[in-house]
Amino acid sequence: MDDMDLGAIKAMGKGSVMVDGLRLTLRSEERRGIDYWYAYRRVAGKTKKVYLGAEFTEGQLSRAAMLLSEAPATATLPVINSVMGNAVTQQNDAQAHELAALRDEVARLQSERDKLASELGRMRAVLGRYDAEKVM
């Protein structure tokens, strides 16, 4: 795997790379204004997808290659448990990223609300002075 290739893929938002003898397609997908990376591979006629995160490393690509490789028909229980555990971890990672994005949005909206409340208070004060001058 060539770092130059990964740099080009990150710049373009998509591309393919050989990892541990497997060809993986990497794509960036936007969710709530943030780009997240996924690795894809076609296995037995079906496209499989693995979440990589907002950034990815060669280690994550090796892990994705392992998850996206075809499991032998005689797979042992520990291998199945490992893959299932990784799938749950990926789902939890994706949910954690979505939760973080939602928290950021809530913080942004609260800040906006505070600014609007401050502006409303200022406008009420100006209006109060205007009404007082009108009475005189």
**Count of residues for the chain?**
136
Count of alpha carbons within 13 angstroms of residue 15, beta-carbon side:
16
Cα-based distances in Å from 113 to 32, 106, 117: 20, 10, 6
For the chain, what percent of residues have pLDDT higher than 90?
7
pTM (whole model) above 0.85: no
| Residue 56: per-residue pLDDT | 81
The enclosing H or E element of 53 equals strand 46-53
Q: How far apart are CA 9 and CA 7, in angstroms?
A: 5
Residue 107 has a pLDDT of 84
Lowest model confidence (mean pLDDT) among 82-86, 91-95, 105-109: 82-86
On the question of pLDDT at 81 being above 70, the answer is no
Confidence of residue 20 (pLDDT cuts 50, 70, 90): confident
| 44 pLDDT tier (thresholds 50, 70, 90) | confident
For residue 71, the model assigns a pLDDT of 54
